[in-house]
Structure 1
Amino acid sequence: MTVYGFGERKTPESFRNACDTFTYLEVLVEAEDEPVTAPLARAASPTLRQDTKLVAGLRAAVASASGEDGWANLAVVGSLMRKQQPDFDPRNWGYAKLSDLVRTIGLFGIEPRPSGGLQIQNKAK
């Protein structure tokens, strides 16, 4: 059984971690005429780099999913992040896509995969 959770930022961590997927209500906003996902204010690169939980989680997910060449499929990295942190969502930092968030952080190499999609690599520290 898959458990989806929704709540505010004040939702207890124990509840967030008990869910397979947790989404903050702040990232889901309904416009007057049509439902849309309204991103929060975008976090700047220096702010993202100082978010140790985010950067460490991404580095660990990339290391776990990467092949011998050091590159990992970005979709797999996103899936691993969601398993480790059920409340992980690029919209929490104001980005609609994980690729945009990763590019803004600037600590990872990202490029198209020959077979389609994107791949990510940890840059040297």
Structure 2
Amino acid sequence: MAQGMDLKIAVLIDADNVSNTKIASILDEVKRYGIPSIKRIYADWTKSHVTGWKEPLLTHAITPIQQYSYTSGKNSSDSALIIDAMDILHSQQVDGFTIVSSDSDFTRLAIRLRESGKMVIGVGEKKTPKPFIAACDKFIYIEILDKDATTTTPNGKTPTETATSAVKVVKQTAQGVQPHDPIGTETIDLLKASVNDVADEGGWAPLAAIGGLLNKRKPDFDPRIYGFSKLTPLFKSLSDHFEVEEKSTEKTKIKHVYIKIKEPQKTGRRKVTR
């Protein structure tokens, strides 16, 4: 399989499960993992609810696949997407697939593609059933790709990173912007377990290794869900739980980030003398 940005990815889109206003952000996200060499979208294009797709399809060179709805209430485009995916798989033209849908019907397809050694990226809404998410190597929520949720300030951080969380959530809600999820105990436990599993004898773990393990354990894990552009600021925000150390080599100036679980402070009673 090709490595890094050389990966060729087939992007297969269920038009009934995604808005045409999101497609630019979705394709930009896919390009973080490789080259979208095949781009197809499936729908019954005789229906009025998909007319808004015409301009985005031309702009992004996406091939529309016509699939008539033979039975009322049934989404026949799902079957067309699955058949195309298997044809592409056997043609050996790509290294991975991106399935854009919130439909659990694609769970078995994702499993089958991974069994064949292909990377599978899922893109869907937060309502996506967990079995489909778990069947992917990586799952990305469409909501975190919204421009309002990822707008950055001049210092390169998201608004949540530069404002008081409580105040920011109130403003976001009032303006109709999707608020970020709070970092709960379950997430902190997941982070600690991942750090512990890749840490050296001194307790320090490289951030890159942590990120890779997080994706394997929880395909839909993404720091942007919590309002952070990267893992580093997410860990820095949890200073009660983690230590963050950044090192750079003198020659290359490449910065390496290491994380360590912070030991709980021992509190003892002061001895009272009389």
Tell me the TM-score normalised to structure 1 length: 0.83
Whether 1:113 aligns to 2:113 is no
Whether 1:23 aligns to 2:143 is no
Aligned residues: 117
Q: Which residue number in structure 2 is paired with residue 76 of structure 1?
A: 209
Does the CA contact (< 8 Å) of 1:27 and 1:37 recur in 2?
yes
RMSD between aligned residues: 2.3
The partner residue of 1:86 within 219, 239, 260 is: 219
Counterpart of 1:111 in structure 2: which amino acid?
E
Give the 3 Å change call, closer, same or farther, for CA 22–38 of structure 1 in structure 2: farther
Counterpart of 1:108 in structure 2: which amino acid?
F
Counterpart of 1:82 in structure 2: which amino acid?
N
Does the CA contact (< 8 Å) of 2:151 and 2:159 recur in 1?
no
Deviation at 1:30, TM superposition (A): 5.3
Give the 3 Å change call, closer, same or farther, for CA 98–10 of structure 1 in structure 2: same
Deviation at 1:83, TM superposition (A): 0.6
The partner residue of 2:232 within 91, 94, 99 is: 99
Does the CA contact (< 8 Å) of 1:73 and 1:120 recur in 2?
yes
Counterpart of 1:9 in structure 2: which amino acid?
K
SS at match of 2:160: coil
Q: How far apart, CA to CA, are the structure 1 residues paired with 2:233 and 2:190?
A: 17
Q: How far apart, CA to CA, are the structure 2 residues paired with 1:94 and 1:100?
A: 10
Tell me the TM-score normalised to structure 2 length: 0.40
Q: How far apart, CA to CA, are the structure 2 residues paired with 1:7 and 1:88?
A: 13
Q: How far apart, CA to CA, are the structure 1 residues paired with 2:215 and 2:151?
A: 20
Does the CA contact (< 8 Å) of 1:29 and 1:37 recur in 2?
yes
Pick 1 or 2: higher relative contact order, CA cutoff 8 A, min separation 6: 1
Counterpart of 1:124 in structure 2: which amino acid?
E
Does the CA contact (< 8 Å) of 2:228 and 2:234 recur in 1?
yes
Does the CA contact (< 8 Å) of 1:27 and 1:38 recur in 2?
no
Q: C-alpha deviations, 1:75-102, integer Å up to 9, x for none? A: 1111111110000000000100100011
Give the 3 Å change call, closer, same or farther, for CA 77–65 of structure 1 in structure 2: same
For 1:43-82, what aligned pairs fall within 5 Å after superposition? 44=165, 47-48=182-183, 51-82=184-215
Whether 1:122 aligns to 2:255 is no
Does the CA contact (< 8 Å) of 1:28 and 1:38 recur in 2?
no
Counterpart of 2:197 in structure 1: which amino acid?
S
Does the CA contact (< 8 Å) of 2:236 and 2:244 recur in 1?
yes
Which consecutive unaligned segments of at least 5 residues does structure 2 have? 1-117, 153-157, 166-181, 250-254, 265-274
Q: How far apart, CA to CA, are the structure 2 residues paired with 1:72 and 1:110?
A: 10
Deviation at 1:65, TM superposition (A): 0.5
Percent of aligned positions that are identical:
37
Larger Rg: 2
Q: How far apart, CA to CA, are the structure 2 residues paired with 1:38 and 1:84?
A: 28
